[in-house]
């Protein structure tokens, strides 16, 4: 039966397909409602948006994004099926603007899949960021030692889980000592406005690398469902930057200095670090201002469809990791 609901061919192509994330995780678009055209329809409260040119829709979508008019984008929704390590899920769930239904280990047996970072992502604590890691990996010896300890701990946790299940101990008790590296799953439904807020924070380089990986795949899915919104989000949120009052004053002075030429031709000398400090910027703010003015590289979140798996393939992998009770 042919549907009357609005669809997007690029989104239909990946609907129900699973994209791998990390070593055992995945993200799949289960369903979606709406597209860029529905944002325009909601904004204009009109049924005739289909007769408008793409350029007109693009202009309105960008205007709404630029000026933070968010309610029209709340009319578009995404439903994802995701699997991630529990420590990533704990970060993810802080975004309280979605409907979530997580796999319950009280009812279901957990696939015993554990996240193991690659050596390239195994690093010491950052000396400048209390929440992050250094950019360079540790020594091979330290990484090998961590792998050995992780494998021992996880083998013991899995053995204990299986033994408790074999003794018919309640599943809600058998699960309690599984580590945070254990993978969980959930269905996650969110509107487009709140998805953009989630992605803005989670594809940022300051976010933990593991959740960035999920954000990148979901951004690729967004690109297929609402490409005009994706473009505006990249331009205004990912590549754009907010300016403080002191930064705006500094830029205003720079613009005045360059109005009639370069440097001090009009009598206003180029700004120095001392000048920026006098304008009220701290050392960190000065560095952030310089970073904002440096043109960033445009990210590419396009999906590799050759890596998309079917729901059946993903289920076989998950069910293959369900432990057999120890008798």
Reduced to 3 states, what is the DSSP secondary structure of residue 106? coil
Contact assessment for residue 181 and residue 190, using Cβ atoms and an 8 Å cutoff: no
Cα 266–chain centre separation: 46
Name 231's Cβ contacts closer than 8 Å, sequence gap at least 6.
58, 62
User: Cα–Cα distances in Å, from 134 out to 115, 129, 176, 296?
Assistant: 20, 9, 32, 21
Please tell me the distance from the alpha carbon of residue 149 to that of residue 147, in angstroms, as a whole number. Answer: 5
Q: Of 65, 154, 175, 202, which is the active-site residue?
A: 202
Pairing of strands 25-33, 99-102: unpaired
Cα 55–chain centre separation: 28
Active site residue 202: yes
In the 8-state DSSP scheme, what is residue 148? Answer: H
Please tell me the distance from the alpha carbon of residue 9 to that of residue 145, in angstroms, as a whole number. Answer: 49
Contact assessment for residue 13 and residue 303, using Cβ atoms and an 8 Å cutoff: no
Nearest to 185 by CA among 115, 103, 124: 103
Pairing of strands 77-85, 183-191: antiparallel
Contact assessment for residue 86 and residue 180, using Cβ atoms and an 8 Å cutoff: yes
The torsion angles phi and psi of 4, rounded to 5 degrees, stand at -100, -5
> Which residues are identified as catalytic?
202
């Amino acid at each position: 039966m042919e549907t009357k609901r609005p669809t997007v061919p690029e989104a239909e192509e990946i609907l129900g397909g699973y994209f791998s994330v990390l070593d055992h995780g995945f993200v799949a678009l289960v369903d979606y409602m709406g597209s860029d055209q529905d944002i325009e329809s909601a904004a204009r409260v009109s049924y005739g948006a289909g007769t408008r040119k793409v350029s007109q829709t693009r202009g309105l979508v960008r205007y709404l994004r630029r000026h933070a008019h968010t309610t029209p984008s709340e009319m578009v929704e995404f439903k994802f099926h995701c699997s991630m390590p529990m420590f990533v899920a704990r970060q993810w769930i802080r975004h309280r603007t979605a409907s979530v239904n997580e796999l319950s280990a009280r009812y279901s047996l957990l696939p015993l899949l554990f996240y193991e970072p690659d050596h390239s992502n195994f690093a010491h604590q950052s000396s400048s960021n209390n929440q992050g890691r250094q950019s360079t990996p540790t020594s091979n010896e330290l990484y090998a030692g961590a792998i050995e300890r992780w494998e021992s701990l996880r083998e013991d946790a899995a053995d204990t889980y299986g033994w408790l299940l074999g003794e018919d101990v309640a599943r809600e008790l058998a699960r309690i000592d599984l580590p945070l590296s254990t993978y969980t799953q959930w269905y996650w439904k969110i509107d487009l406005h709140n998805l953009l807020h989630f992605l803005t924070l989670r594809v940022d380089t300051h976010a933990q690398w593991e959740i960035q990986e999920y954000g990148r795949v979901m951004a690729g899915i967004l690109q297929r469902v609402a490409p005009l919104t994706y473009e505006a989000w990249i331009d205004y949120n990912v590549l754009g930057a907010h300016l403080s009052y002191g930064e705006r004053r500094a830029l205003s002075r720079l613009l005045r200095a360059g109005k009639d030429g370069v440097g001090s031709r009009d009598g206003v000398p180029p700004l120095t670090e001392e000048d920026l400090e006098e304008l009220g910027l701290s050392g960190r703010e000065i560095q952030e201002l310089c970073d904002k003015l440096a043109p960033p590289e445009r990210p590419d979140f396009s999906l590799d469809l050759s890596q998309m798996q079917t729901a059946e393939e993903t289920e076989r992998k998950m069910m293959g990791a369900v432990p057999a009770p120890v008798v």
